[in-house]
Structure 1
Amino acid sequence: MIVAFSVTPLGTDEHIAPAVARAVKVVRDSGLPNETTSMFTSIEGEWDEVMDVVKRAVEAAGQGAHRISLTLKADIREGVVDGLHSKVEAVERELAR
């Protein structure tokens, strides 16, 4: 599965970048394939391992916050390997036509 998520701590005086960096560090340290863009971090793997990483990333981003906003989108598709890149490559092939 691929999960794209965005997490925002609420109720802190902290700028968002440090909180987001804590979340992204958890994702990168997981060893699972991942990408971070300006709006979302995407991570690919099996259901349980991906959701565990998302949970830990949310906890890291939310340190000191009274409330956390999480936006999550999942593509659950068995048998697909490296969907994080192959989906983009399929679009690029279409654009090159």
Structure 2
Amino acid sequence: MLVAFSVAPSGTGRSDGSVHDAVAAAVRVVRTSGLRHRTTSMFTELEGEWDEVMDVVKRATEAVLPFGSRVSLVLKADIRPGRTGEIDAKIDRLERALESDADPSPEA
């Protein structure tokens, strides 16, 4: 299972709207989880089994709670039983398709 999620506090009281300290707390949870992961400017991706991924998302969300009066969580999941390594494989397939000289139309 792949999950892309974003978690951020609101009601932080910060005039500049910055949430980097809260996001850092969430990313620390992800990085110590032992799961394959990738963090970008907007989302963190995790790969693993359902229960372990959801546990990390829950703990990352809980790590953000002290930084505001509420927390926003956005989550997208790709559930494909029996597949592993998709956090990199999906990107590899995309790059190969972009490099291919083949006609990209589905009828070809």
Residue of structure 2 equivalent to 1:61: 64
2:88 to 78, 85, 90: 85
Query: Taking structure 1 as the reference length, what is the TM-score of the superposition?
Result: 0.96
Given the alignment of the two structures, is residue 52 of structure 1 paired with residue 55 of structure 2, yes or no?
yes
CA distance in 2, matches of 1:46, 1:54: 12
Deviation of 1:13 (Å): 2.5
Q: Specify the structure having the higher radius of gyration (Cα).
A: 2
Residue of structure 1 equivalent to 2:5: 5
Unpaired segments ≥5 residues, structure 2: 101-108
Aligned residues: CA RMSD: 0.9
- Report the secondary structure of 1:92's partner residue: helix
CA distance in 1, matches of 2:68, 2:62: 10
Deviation of 1:45 (Å): 0.3
Aligned residues: percent identity? 58
- Report the secondary structure of 2:7's partner residue: strand
- Report the secondary structure of 2:62's partner residue: helix
- Report the secondary structure of 1:30's partner residue: coil
* Residue correspondences, number: 97
- Report the secondary structure of 1:80's partner residue: coil
Query: Taking structure 2 as the reference length, what is the TM-score of the superposition?
Result: 0.86
Q: Which moved more, 1:56-65 or 1:34-43?
A: 56-65
Residue of structure 2 equivalent to 1:41: 44
Residue of structure 1 equivalent to 2:105: none
Assess if the C-alpha contact under 8 Å between 2:22 and 2:67 holds in 1. Answer: no
The one-character-per-residue Cα deviations of 1:30-61 (angstroms, maximum 9, x if unpaired) are 01000000110000000000000000000102
Runs of 4+ in 1 over 2 A off after TM superposition: none
CA distance in 2, matches of 1:28, 1:45: 13
